[in-house]
Structure 1
Amino acid sequence: MENASTLDPMAETALRSMRDIVTPTPVSWLPQTWGWGMLAGVILALLATWVFIALRRYRRNAYRREALRILETIQTDMAAPERRSDGVRRISELLKRTALAAWPRQSVAPITGDRWTAFLRGSVDDEQEQNLTSALALEYRASGEAMSDETCDEVVANARHWIEKHHVSA
């Protein structure tokens, strides 16, 4: 067999003078100026501050989460008509315990009756203030068994709303 193809001398010279492509050095991912480092530091500081504030708020609202868990058990107990009067009493007690956890004991503990309902109304800033007062008036009824299912659900909903939305003055 004959030699594959023979190249002309010019092509052979050109092929011998070829070299590999020289690639540039990779570009660094590190910022080249101090401003980018400063921006990264500010972002990290803001992120750390946000995490600190969120953690503090989470810990500060632990009493609300506990009160909502207790309210769920009271709500299941109130499903039975014979336990409704006890459930309303326990809701009132739960609201008082929640207030004692949020405000100083000296200012909340002695409050009863109309002053108590006024205190509860004053600590929530929306339209359900009056509903909460009427729900607490149910505690003083002679018999809780006369309460309908809708009334029980309203009492629980208003108590849940107060627990979630009350404002504690600093």
Structure 2
Amino acid sequence: MEQQARPDPITEAALRSLKDIAIPQPVSWVPQTWGWLILALVLFAAILLWLAMRYRHWRRDAYRREALRLLDEIARDLRSQQTRDEANARLGELLKRTALAAWPRKTIAAVSGNEWADFLSAHQDGEIGSSLRCYLADLEYRAGATPGAGAIDDLLRDARYWIERHHVSA
């Protein structure tokens, strides 16, 4: 067995007198000033207000989502020869019901024909499509008159555009 080298007595005394390293306390996550707390509360309130406004907007547009769902059903029926006449009448009814959900009844109920088409144009970006204007001026009121197969897609596109993007004054 080999003998281990022993340090001299002064080194041994110095090693015994050493203390452990002092580790600092962990840094607190709590803000040190009231300003950060106030800023956090203001940001939290702003986020809550934004969420409330988005929810209110979503609720206010429920009639649009329902109208678009019904428009999809009407589109399916317009493309079928057996249900085309009934769907043709339902499209005009859908547009009128959509407008009634957004404007007062006395403003909407008496409007028809070109006046109705002008009303729809006045409440969207630009003019309504020519196929929708033709439908509202004539085809909506004639029993058994339905647009041709090519015009159906244009009519549905114009109706969808108006339902999605019409402007309602607050």
Global fold match (TM > 0.5) = yes
* Aligned-pair CA distance for 1:107: 1.3
3-state SS in 1 of match to 2:55 = helix
3-state SS in 1 of match to 2:82 = helix
3-state SS in 2 of match to 1:81 = coil
1:20-169 equivalence runs, <5 A: 20-137=20-137, 138-140=139-141, 143-144=144-145, 147-148=148-149, 150-169=150-169
Q: Which has the higher helix share?
A: 1
Larger relative contact order (CA 8 Å, sep ≥ 6): 1
Distance 1:18 1:146, change over 3 A: same
* Aligned-pair CA distance for 1:109: 1.2
TM-score by length of 2: 0.88
Which moved further from structure 2: 75-84 or 88-97?
Answer: 75-84
Identity %: 49
Letter in 1 for 2:140: E
* Aligned-pair CA distance for 1:9: 2.5
2:132, 2:158 within 8 Å by CA — same for their partners in 1?
yes
TM-score by length of 1: 0.88
Give the aligned partner of residue 18 of structure 1.
18
Aligned pairs, how many? 169
* Aligned-pair CA distance for 1:142: 5.9
Distance 1:168 1:136, change over 3 A: same
* Aligned-pair CA distance for 1:74: 1.1
Unaligned runs of 5+ in 1: none
Unaligned runs of 5+ in 2: none
2:85, 2:144 within 8 Å by CA — same for their partners in 1?
yes
